[in-house]
Amino acid sequence: MREVFRYLGIYSQLMVPATASQDGGSLLHPFTNLVVHHRNGPHVIARGDGVWIYDEDGNGYIEAAAGLFCASLGFNEERLAEAAYRQMKTLPFMHLFTSRSHSPAIELSERLLKLAPVPMSKVFFANSGSEAADTVVKMVWYYNNALGRSEKKKIIGRRDGYHGTTVAAASLTGIARSHRKFDLPIANVIHTSRPHYYHGARPGESEEAYASRLAEELEQLIVDEGPDTVAAVIAEPVMGSCGVLLPPSGYFEKIQAVIARYDLLFAADEVICGFGRTGNMWGSQTYGLRPDFLTTAKQLSSGYAPISAVMVNEKVYRTLLEGSEEIGMFAHGFTYSGHPVSAAVALECLNIYEERNIVDHVRRVGPRLQDGLRTCFADHPIVGEVRGVGLLAAVELIADKAARNPFPPELGVGQYCAGRAMERGLVLRALGDSMAFSPPLIIEESEIDLVLDRFGEALDETADWLASR
């Protein structure tokens, strides 16, 4: 990889490390407590190797969060760097506006359509999951305008669902902190309940009955809003950023029946679940989703280059085509839509997934993580629920196991536990008080055992800290 950077003429610049003291004077961090950051400063990461990352002081950490559910192939896959370098030498930039095209975008779109969990017609490229979600919103509205249904515009997300942080995507997101002080959500975005059986079910209610109740609630919301005003539903197969919530038995079958009954479009947000994370190529295959739109990002390039995609089926594409004929163009896109370097990296990423049978690898090692978490920690005094699928899991920390009562948010129990894990060389994501695990898909069983050992120590220390309070 060093040679790649030298050829690019930037190797000498990369060897001059930034320092923590410089950070506060120039950099505004996303999803960060700015007051705490101003006081404590950053944790500067210097390099990566496989599932490990190393900070500027040389401390090593096993990265059990894959960054932000992204780095599926770990942190030093040279083939991806080489793919970027080759493309930079050949064609470093070209847009896709006004019928312009290039080989990496064409080939990547063909590959994605072949991999799609249901028949899809076309692929639109963007640069992030947020842009992909915004694109879905605009396409839904465009679609219904083209059909002469100017009132059918409302899109239903789910409370605690996550779809990004641009204006429309953050509106689809059902998390209060993404709305407060931002004047969100925008008009025509509404939310239904999240599916979380552990906290949402009534006493004695089965998963199937709970799923039926949620489907009935969705239908009632549509009826109350007016079916002629509701256009679409968007959902993640597994709700990642709110704590890895798995759908209860029968959930997607039941809500898709409601979607079909009222002639709504359905968008599957596969930004986290796509490319093997759940033990299938798509979460839609794991849970039986049949979407009209499918959004993907993150593991599309293993996080090595910014790229996302929206796949649309033929029904949607034909309507976009008709609208374009009337207006003169489909007037949506980004300068970097299908950027040739990002597309080349994504293509090589797909090659590696296929050659190394990444999905089969997840199926082989995933039970080591899932069974290990349940066996070791389900009975722990501060653990409420252990949940997960494939290489995606969460351990929810809870104040009262019997009553399923959470800790007061101001205690910051999840963040405390994540800090104790970091001290032991383990990176986890604290999603509230749910400790999320989403390691690189290349992780081996011996490394999973190390994750479990270090998490167990951090969990015990967290319990001791709570007892001392």
Q: What is the pLDDT of residues 76-94, one digit of tens each?
A: 999 999 999 999 999 999 9
Can you tell me whether residue 190 is helix, strand or coil?
strand
* pLDDT tens by residue, 426-462: 999 999 999 999 999 999 999 999 999 999 999 999 9
User: In 10 A of CB 353, how many CB atoms?
Assistant: 21
Whether residue 253 is contained in a domain is answered as yes
Does the pLDDT at position 13 exceed 70?
no
Judged against a pLDDT cut of 90, whether residue 95 lies above it is answered with: yes
Contact assessment for residue 135 and residue 206, using Cβ atoms and an 8 Å cutoff: no
Give per-residue pLDDT as tens, 206-257.
Answer: 999 999 999 999 999 999 999 999 999 999 999 999 999 999 999 999 999 9
pLDDT per residue over 334-363, tens digit each?
999 999 999 999 999 999 999 999 999 999
Q: Is residue 313 part of a domain?
A: yes
Residue 12 has pLDDT above 50, yes or no: no
- pLDDT, tens only, 300-327: 999 999 999 999 999 999 999 988 888 8
- The per-residue pLDDT for 5 is 43
Residue 405 lies in a domain: no
Is residue 295 domain-resident? Answer: yes
DSSP string, 125-164: EESSHHHHHHHHHHHHHHHHHHTT-TT--EEEEETT----
39 pLDDT more than 90: no
Q: Is residue 436 part of a domain?
A: no
Count of Cβ atoms closer than 10 Å to residue 371 Cβ: 10
On whether residue 234 sits in a domain, the answer given is: yes
CA 35, CA 44: separation in Å to the nearest integer?
Answer: 18
Instruction: Sort 159 into a burial class: Cβ within 10 Å, 0-12 / 13-18 / 19+.
Output: middle
Is 60 exceeded by the pLDDT of residue 14?
Answer: no
Give how many domains the chain has, as a whole number.
1
Partners of 47 in the β-ladder: 54
Q: How many CB atoms lie within 10 A of CB 212?
A: 16
For the chain, what percent of residues have pLDDT higher than 70? 96
Residue 406, pLDDT > 80, answer yes
CATH number at residue 219: 3.40.640.10
Residue 117 counted as domain residue: yes
Residue 276 resides in a domain: yes
Q: Using alpha carbons, select from 385, 369, 390, 391 the residue that is nearest to residue 455.
A: 369
Two tokens at 341?
Answer: 């370097």
Q: How far apart are CA 437 and CA 366, in angstroms?
A: 11
Q: Which residue has the tokens 């109350």?
A: 224
- Range 281-302 average pLDDT: 98
Is residue 188 helix, strand or coil?
Answer: coil
More confident residue, 64 or 32: 64
Q: How far apart are the first and last CA of the chain?
A: 49
- Residue 147 belongs to domain spanning: 86-355
143 compared with 21, residue with greater pLDDT: 143
Count of other CB atoms within 10 angstroms of residue 253: 16
* pLDDT for the residue 18: 60
Q: What is the CA radius of gyration of the chain?
A: 22
Six-digit token string for 365 = 């090692």
